[in-house]
Amino acid sequence: MTFTRRSILGAGATGLLAGAIDLSAVAQRNPASKQGRVRPKNVIFCVSDGMAMSTVTMASYFQQVTKGRSSYWMKLIDEEYAFTGLQNTRSLNSLVTDSAAASSAWGSGRHVWNGQLNAFPDKTELRPLTSIMRDAGVRVGLVTTTTITHATPSGFAVSCIDRDLEGLIAEKHLHSGVDVLLGGGNRFFSPLLRPDHRDLYTDFARAGYSVVKSRRQLKDLIDPAKILGIFNDGHMPYTVDHMNSPDLLAEKPTLAEMAETALMALQHSPRGFLLQIEGGKVDHGGHANDLAALVYDQIAFEEAVKVAVDFALKNRETLVIITADHATGGPALNGAGMEYIDSTEGLKALSGMRASYEVITKAMGKSPTSDRVRDTVHEHLSIALTGPEADAVSEAYSGNSPFAVSSFYSSPLAMLAIVLGNHTKVTWTSQNHTCDHVLVTAIGPGSSDFAQLTPNVSFFDLILSTKGLKWNNPTMTFEDASAHYQKLKATSDPELILRYAATERNRTENYYG
């Protein structure tokens, strides 16, 4: 069977009946005759962290029913020059990966234990992708809507026994040779917020980086060689909050704007560049079961993808890979109403949503009354909860969730998502990652290599091959890793955690992914 451009999520005339996935077609490689074997000079690796297949589908359908057009990614899939397949996402210790292990699979070509970055539980460090590329003269950039020290961007560039040691990872980025770092994470760079009071901004400036901390400063950069741009204490704001706040719009760059700046800085590299662009807050929206956060961040991610693809189409020497590290939350638009006619209207409810759960929960307080729940949801989401629905959410915030016996639905946010599902028709399987295969689309020289079911660890070799490079990191079996992991837990260094990890409150925030 020949793989065609319409094998996955191809759009019909109206777009509303499209979306079926032909898994047999996915497993077939495009004929190499469609494309020469010219090596790309540049690689842009775009990651929608936590993006389930249903996420990209709902983002496209939402734009179809509200704006009369498909999403950018769906239109890209429909182009003759685009090649599309799937990626598996397991880690060393589980069929369900976290972002550290997922990014390490790309970054080292090895399955690692969840929670670790290019390292095994015996503290063996694997050589990361960017180190090898830098030795070949390739310039490197990392752009994200999470902290720049978070798992996905760091998995390309850093080896660390614990993904939570973001203060240490910030130091490792200084020595990693990455030329452009743009995202959040001020608490890991500022002497006012780091437990050791080290001023990493000064250290980066001394190493030749232009240090910027606002959207205006980013836009005012002129031909920078190296950039450190940190725009928030923690992760960047959700897109739905960003686009509804004049202050945030003025102060914080979008992912697309950060991608544009990174390309400006990297594009003249004689030996080419490797740039990772991560829409990291898609994952956080999935963890929270927050439909508005999820979909609007997916749309913002695809705007950044367009920046990358437009560059590649003009440049003609650039391979663009677009994918996810894993799926999160298991969201689905369900059939509802007579002959499912209510499903479309349910998704349209997104049009009235002007805030994420992060904003809503702050507005409601720790133990909101039913009236407070109902008023806050109506103000920010334009949805009128019924009395019993508001009661259920209020009870969950008071520790009396109707689903207290469930390990997947007992949290207040899960309860909020359940009652909102009555109105949006979107429900969730959990607030966790899932084992789903994820979508991959590629354009440019070498893109036909991704028109199949590709193991996540194969991306390492495929990216290195663009420069004719090879590297074999050590391997470890699950049995050996498990034994070492038990020893590692028993001998953990509390001082290391105290010095480099975030506070307990922020560790919870930062772990998403």
**Residues 293 and 157 grouped into a single domain:** yes
23-41 mean pLDDT: 52
**pLDDT over threshold 80, residue 41:** yes
- Sequence-ordered alpha helix ranges (H) in 78-207: 99-108, 129-135, 151-154, 166-176, 200-206
Both structure tokens of 45: 């690796």
Residue 51 forms part of a structural domain: yes
Residue 9 forms part of a structural domain: no
Residue 28 forms part of a structural domain: no
**Residues 408 and 437 grouped into a single domain:** no
**Residues 163 and 208 grouped into a single domain:** yes
**pLDDT over threshold 50, residue 392:** yes
CA distances from 450 to 3, 140, 156, 323, 444 (A): 11, 22, 19, 10, 11
Read off the pLDDT of residues 431-459 as tens digits, 9 standing for 90 and up: 999 999 999 999 999 999 999 999 999 99
SS (H, E, C) 22-66: CHHHHCCCCCHHHCCCCCCCEEEEEEECCCCHHHHHHHHHHHHHH
Q: Of the residues 397, 427, 457, which one is the last residue of a structural domain? A: 427
**Residues 153 and 228 grouped into a single domain:** yes
Q: Of the residues 396, 427, 458, which one is the last residue of a structural domain? A: 427
Q: Of the residues 427, 453, 469, which one is the last residue of a structural domain? A: 427
* DSSP classification of residue 433: E
**Residues 313 and 400 grouped into a single domain:** no
Residue 78 forms part of a structural domain: yes
Per the structure, the count of domains in the chain is 2
Q: What is the pTM of this model?
A: 0.92
CA distances from 409 to 210, 300, 400, 402, 469 (A): 45, 28, 12, 9, 47
pLDDT band at 18 (very low <50, low <70, confident <90, very high): very low
Residue 261 forms part of a structural domain: yes
447: domain CATH number? 3.40.720.10
CA distances from 485 to 18, 108, 122 (A): 45, 19, 7
**Residues 301 and 266 grouped into a single domain:** yes
**Residues 339 and 325 grouped into a single domain:** no
**Residues 62 and 162 grouped into a single domain:** yes
pLDDT band at 232 (very low <50, low <70, confident <90, very high): very high
171-178 mean pLDDT: 96
Specify the pLDDT at position 512.
59
Q: What is the mean pLDDT of the chain?
A: 91
What range does the domain containing 336 cover? Answer: 332-427
Rounded Cα gap, residues 331 and 317, in angstroms: 37
Specify the pLDDT at position 12.
33
**pLDDT over threshold 70, residue 504:** no
pLDDT band at 500 (very low <50, low <70, confident <90, very high): confident
Read off the pLDDT of residues 118-151 as tens digits, 9 standing for 90 and up: 999 999 999 999 999 999 999 999 999 999 999 9
Helix axis angle, 291-315 to 255-266, nearest 10°: 30
Residue 31 forms part of a structural domain: no
**Residues 418 and 476 grouped into a single domain:** no
**Any idea which of 7-16, 268-277, 383-392 has the lowest mean pLDDT?**
7-16
Its sign, for the CA torsion 484, 486, 491, 492, is: positive
Read off the pLDDT of residues 240-299 as tens digits, 9 standing for 90 and up: 999 999 999 999 999 999 999 999 999 999 999 999 999 999 999 999 999 999 999 999
**48-82: b (≥16 Cβ within 10 Å) or e:** bbbbbbbbbbbbbbbbbbeeeebbbbbebbbeeeb
**Residues 507 and 368 grouped into a single domain:** no
Specify the pLDDT at position 497.
74
370-393 mean pLDDT: 98
**Residues 132 and 77 grouped into a single domain:** yes
Secondary structure E strands in 264-316: 273-279
**pLDDT over threshold 70, residue 206:** yes
**Residues 90 and 184 grouped into a single domain:** yes
Specify the pLDDT at position 502.
60
Residue 155 forms part of a structural domain: yes
Residue 50 forms part of a structural domain: yes
